[in-house]
């Protein structure tokens, strides 16, 4: 079956007990046993599992091409579970421009549990190789990076990881399996913030971990049910509903992203645009090879904090807010919002300047998005 068919049907079969075409929300914390030691439908307690979670997990595993998927209360809860696959003393090489929350989780929390982290430019395989230590057990890649839009060659990372018995984890939040299939390129684990494109409607948080190896799957499920951060029924229901339209949404996001990026690129008040779909992007060719499209995330530099302040206070259709990947265009200032937990010297080194604006291009009429940006740019 094709991607859109799978997104609508896998895990979304009519409810066996009633024939309901849409799986009802199983808003119950516990399940009656048929007899002692025997559950009715394989469910006993909602922390461990429930029908809405199972349905969503099946859809995601299918779309990413994984063996299993597990869904968590947020992207960060899923990413935290992935790092719990490691042991004290293990070392991880990560993309240097990861989402600020991942930087905070690793540098301020997980280091205290004996894990070691090195942040490097993963777009250069030689740099990644140079960062390897005898205790390196994982490569953690965000591609494109948030918000600098640098691209990492997933196949090259998989080769490095396989040669050195390390696990390759790819955060596929920015592109979704519609535009990029990390597992086909050799990734062992894929993570997402479901809060973004997979849900697509900015009405629930969630995260997922997609596995390719039975051992990893077993351990992630153990972590999910032991630590208790599995996604709740209502949030699974909302995310399952969102995923059904993923293919059409991504097509429109992609088209709008490209149009807005080209417009900004030609605008005299915009210093620089970072978007892999533009031919001058340093990783344009790699993006064309590894992605089905450039996506709808981009960033651009307006030259000064003052210019950014005036611009962001004038936009109307582009909503000034954290997050991304919803049907509505969302705009933010990473230095003060998503990446504020990263020290300024680190942000400056990796290109997250105080005047870098991030835009998640929505699926409104693209003329309206562009007109909104243009009127706000008049104020700087």
Ligand X SMILES: Cc1ncc(COP(=O)(O)O)c(C=O)c1O
Q: Is 171 assigned a catalytic role? A: yes
Q: 3-class secondary structure for the chain?
A: CCHHHHHHHCCCCCCCCCCCCCCCCCCCCECCEEECCEECCCCCECCCCCHHHHHHHHHHHHHHCCCEEEEECCHHHHHHHHHCCCCCCCEEEEECCCCHHHHHHHHHHHHHHCCEEEEECCCCHHHHHHHCCCCEEEEEEECCCCCCCCCCCHHHHHHHHHHCCCEEEEECCCCHHHHCCCCCCCCCEEEEECCCCCCCCCCCCCEEEEECCHHHHHHHHHHHHHHCCECCHHHHHHHHHHHCCHHHHHHHHHHHHHHHHHHHHCCCCCCEEECCCCCCCCCHHHHHHHCCCCCCEEEEECCCHHHHHHHHCCCCCCEECCCCCCCCCEEECCCCCCCCCCCHHHHHHHCCCCCEEEEECCCCCHHHHHHHHHHHHCCC
Q: Is 196 assigned a catalytic role? A: yes
Least CB distance to ligand X at residue 173 (A): 4
Q: Is 244 assigned a catalytic role? A: no
Of residues 153, 171, 265, 372, which has the active-site annotation?
Answer: 171
Q: Which of residues 14-43 bind ligand X (CB under 6 A)?
A: none
Residue span 173-212 as binding mask against ligand X, x where in contact by CB under 6 A, dash where not: xx------------------x-x---------x-x-----
Nearer to ligand X by Cβ, of 46 and 169: the residue is: 169
Q: Which of residues 101-130 bind ligand X (CB under 6 A)?
A: 101
Residue span 143-162 as binding mask against ligand X, x where in contact by CB under 6 A, dash where not: ---x----------------
Q: Is 215 assigned a catalytic role? A: no
Answer for which of 12, 59, 68, 74 binds ligand X (CB under 6 A) is 74
User: Closest CB to ligand X belongs to which residue?
Assistant: 75
Of residues 99, 103, 140, 275, which has the active-site annotation?
Answer: 99
Nearer to ligand X by Cβ, of 195 and 256: the residue is: 195
Q: Which of residues 306-345 bind ligand X (CB under 6 A)?
A: 338
Give the catalytic positions in this structure. Answer: 47, 99, 171, 196
Q: Would you tell me which residues interact with ligand X (CB under 6 A)? A: 74-76, 99, 101, 142, 146, 171, 173-174, 193, 195, 205, 207, 338
């Amino acid at each position: 079956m094709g991607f859109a068919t799978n997104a609508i049907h896998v895990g979304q079969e009519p409810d066996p007990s009633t024939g309901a075409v849409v799986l009802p929300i199983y808003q119950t914390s516990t399940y009656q046993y048929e007899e002692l030691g025997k559950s009715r439908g394989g469910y006993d307690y909602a922390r461990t599992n429930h029908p809405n979670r199972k349905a969503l997990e099946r859809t995601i595993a299918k779309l990413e091409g994984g063996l299993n998927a597990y869904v968590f209360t947020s992207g960060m809860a899923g990413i935290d579970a992935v790092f719990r696959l490691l042991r004290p003393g293990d070392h991880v090489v990560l993309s240097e421009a990861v989402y600020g929350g991942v930087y905070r989780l690793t540098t301020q929390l997980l280091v205290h549990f004996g894990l070691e982290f090195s942040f490097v430019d993963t777009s250069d395989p030689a740099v990644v190789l140079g960062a390897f230590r005898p205790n390196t057990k994982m490569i953690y890649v965000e591609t494109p990076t948030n918000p600098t839009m640098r691209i990492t060659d997933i196949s090259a990372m998989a080769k490095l990881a396989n040669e050195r018995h390390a696990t390759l984890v790819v955060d596929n939040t920015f592109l979704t399996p519609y535009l990029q299939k990390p597992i086909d390129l050799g990734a062992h684990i894929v993570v997402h913030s479901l809060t973004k494109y997979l849900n697509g409607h900015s009405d629930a948080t969630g995260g997922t971990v997609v596995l390719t190896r039975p051992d990893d799957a077993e351990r992630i499920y153990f972590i999910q049910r032991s630590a208790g951060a599995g996604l709740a029924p209502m949030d699974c229901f909302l995310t399952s509903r969102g995923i059904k339209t993923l293919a059409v949404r991504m097509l429109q996001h992609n088209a709008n992203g490209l149009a807005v990026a080209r417009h900004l690129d030609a605008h005299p008040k915009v210093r620089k645009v970072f978007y892999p779909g533009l031919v001058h992007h340093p990783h344009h060719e790699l993006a064309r090879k590894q992605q089905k499209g450039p996506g709808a995330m981009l960033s651009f530099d307006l030259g000064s904090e003052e210019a950014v302040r005036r611009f962001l206070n004038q936009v109307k259709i582009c909503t000034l807010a954290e997050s991304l990947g919803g049907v509505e265009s969302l705009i933010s200032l990473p230095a003060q919002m998503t990446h504020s937990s990263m020290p300024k010297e680190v942000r400056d080194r990796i290109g997250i300047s105080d005047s870098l604006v991030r835009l998640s291009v929505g699926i409104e009429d693209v003329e309206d998005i562009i007109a909104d940006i243009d009127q706000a740019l008049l104020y700087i």
